[in-house]
Amino acid sequence: MKRETMINALLALGLLAVPLWALIADEPFYITLATRVAIFALAGVGLNIAIGLGGLVSFGHAAFFGLGGYAMGVLASHAQSYTPMMEWPFLIEGSNSMPVIWITAVIASGLAALVIGALSLRTAGVYFIMITLAFGQMLYYFTISWPAYGGEDGLSIYIRNGFPGLNTLDPIQFFAITFVILGLALVFSTLLAKSPFGLALNAARQSSERVETIGITPYRLRLTAFVISGMITGLAGALFADLNRFVSPTMFSWQTSGEIMVFIILGGTARLFGPVAGAALFIALEQVLGGLSDYWHIYLGLLLLCVVLFARGGIIGTLAGEEARHD
């Protein structure tokens, strides 16, 4: 077995072992931590398709994370107050069913990614980073100033949404949902990287000119990748909102975009399990350092600096050595 595959397997087992141990030891807090890791990793898997495969450094993925969150918040708040979302021209009611919420989250963030991507992808480099950032901030201020759904205070949902056949309030069952979704996203991400689309997208990252010369338009590849990427991050947002049973404009803030990017950089850009490793380390640091000092982000910053300067491949790259993502 290749070294990276082994590391990936260990990471997956580790992410499964912690909550199982916590279940036996009756420490539900650690189940919640593992759930956060799975959800953050999922958000990172989404962003990694844009950054790692497409070379599209989006600093606005909070937009999709937040839209996923608000898809949950809006649907569930209507369900909990028994008020329809819309009565005319046709009736739309709220919902507290996870599958319905997920589909809504994925569609909403996909549409947003289509619009944001269509405009931002006309630029590149620093301009692209700035424009995606600006779109994220626009949504942030919009939700703050939109009183119908809690404005600045956000929205609380009293009961976690349901999934047929499961008790989602049981931490381990909710963890299982997020773990399975993360697994599916990772499988999809692997297939994508090896597919004809992945080959072309990855080539466009390296040389636009090359891709044009063989008769494929890089813009279309990138827009498609951006939409897929936004959808996955949006789904993570819906799960995150359900974990907390709370949504607020913070989900849209640039800090959220930055954190999702940090997962990828820490774990290893363009590495399949990079976001998993990065999210796990992030949560571990938050627990350990956060307990020692309120300013733990300073240490996180130092660590990031070291990774960028000395270990470009992140955790996975350092452990697995020479990259081998296309064979």
Partner 1 sequence: MTDPVLSVRGISKSFGALKASDDVNLDLQPGEIHALIGPNGAGKSTLIKQIAGGLRPDSGQVHFLGKDVTLLSTVARARMGLARTFQISSLAMEDTVLQNALLGALGAQGKPFRFFHPVLKDSALRDIAETALSRVNLLDHATMRTSELSHGQRRQLEVAVALTLNPKAFIMDEPMAGLGTSGSQNLTTFLDELRHEAPILLVEHDMDAVFALADRISVLVYGKIIATGSVDEIRAHPEVRRAYLGEDA
Please report, as ranges, the residues that interact with partner 1 according to CB under 8 A: 191-192, 194-200, 202-203, 206-207, 209-217, 221, 224, 326-327
Q: Which is nearer to partner 1, 93 or 212 (CB)?
A: 212
Q: Which is nearer to partner 1, 105 or 227 (CB)?
A: 227
Rounded least distance, CB 204 to partner 1, Å = 9
For residue 293, count other CB atoms closer than 10 A to its CB. Answer: 10
Q: Which is nearer to partner 1, 144 or 270 (CB)?
A: 270
Rounded least distance, CB 174 to partner 1, Å = 29
Both tokens assigned to 302: 């130092």
CB of 186 within 8 A of CB of 46? no
CA atoms lying within 13 Å on the CB side of residue 214? 10
Rounded least distance, CB 252 to partner 1, Å = 29
What is the rounded distance in angstroms from the CA atom of residue 36 to the CA atom of residue 11? 15
Rounded least distance, CB 189 to partner 1, Å = 11
Helical ranges in the chain per DSSP H:
3-24, 28-48, 62-81, 98-120, 125-144, 171-194, 196-206, 208-213, 218-244, 254-267, 274-292, 296-310, 314-320
Taking the alpha carbons at both ends of the chain, their separation in whole angstroms is 13
Q: Which is nearer to partner 1, 167 or 206 (CB)?
A: 206
Rounded least distance, CB 68 to partner 1, Å = 21
Q: Virtual CA dihedral for 181, 276, 278, 235, nearest 10 degrees?
A: -10
Rounded least distance, CB 65 to partner 1, Å = 23
Q: Which is nearer to partner 1, 217 or 255 (CB)?
A: 217
Q: Which is nearer to partner 1, 66 or 110 (CB)?
A: 110
Both tokens assigned to 307: 């990774």
State phi, psi for 124 to the nearest 5 degrees: -145, 170
